[in-house]
């Protein structure tokens, strides 16, 4: 004899399923946002730490380079082949090169540091933003200001390079004029 099996049909409430799904997505999104923000904060801290270390080492290297340059000049002063008048132009040009390269390097380092800090700020803002339209607006504004900042900074860097070039060439121009005058008087 066969036994009759009865099955009970359960009904699933679509609103409950939808609510559960929305809760899972919201929880997952919040977890991802938190993880992303935590990762961005860790990267930012590492970047700041490495930047400070780099700046310290760079300043130390510049100081040692200046000291070495001054020692080399003093060493040459005792040589019989040392011509004070002509060598002064090289010393002035070398000092100008060091000074201007310090300014240029500092400007480049600041530019790079500022840009990366801005990326961290925008990343954090985007991660905390719920609305996709707002995210697009943030990214668009960031792209626009990045281009404007880049153009402005390149103009500043160009002015620094031109100034550095003038400062390094100037001592040779004065020495060239003096040598030309001396040569014309002898002729």
pLDDT in tens, 12-64: 777 877 777 777 767 767 777 777 777 777 777 887 787 788 778 877 877 77
The answer for residues whose C-beta is within 8 angstroms of residue 139's C-beta and 6 or more apart is 122, 126
Residue pair 152/172 in contact by the 8 Å Cβ criterion: no
DSSP letter (8 states) at residue 5: P
Q: Record the pTM.
A: 0.57
Tokens of 123: 């990343």
CB 96 within 8 A of CB 164: yes
CA–CA gap between residue 5 and residue 14 (Å, rounded): 28
């Amino acid at each position: 004899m066969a036994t009759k099996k009865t099955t009970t049909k359960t009904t699933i409430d679509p609103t409950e399923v939808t609510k559960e799904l929305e809760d899972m997505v919201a929880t997952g999104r919040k977890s991802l946002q938190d993880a992303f923000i935590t990762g961005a904060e860790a990267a930012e801290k590492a970047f700041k730490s490495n930047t400070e270390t780099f700046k310290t080492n760079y300043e130390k290297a510049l100081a040692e380079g200046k000291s070495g340059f001054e020692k080399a000049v003093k060493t040459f002063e005792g040589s019989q082949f040392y011509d004070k008048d002509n060598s002064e132009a090289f010393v002035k040009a070398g000092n100008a090169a060091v000074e201007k390269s310090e300014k240029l390097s500092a400007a480049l380092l600041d530019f790079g540091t500022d840009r990366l800090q801005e990326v961290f700020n925008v990343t954090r803002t985007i991660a905390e933003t719920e609305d996709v339209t707002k995210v697009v607006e943030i990214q668009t504004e960031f792209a626009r200001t990045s281009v404007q900042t880049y153009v402005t900074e390149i103009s500043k860097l160009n002015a620094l390079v031109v100034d550095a070039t003038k400062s390094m060439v100037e001592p040779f121009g004065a020495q060239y004029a003096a040598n030309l005058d001396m040569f014309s008087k002898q002729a």
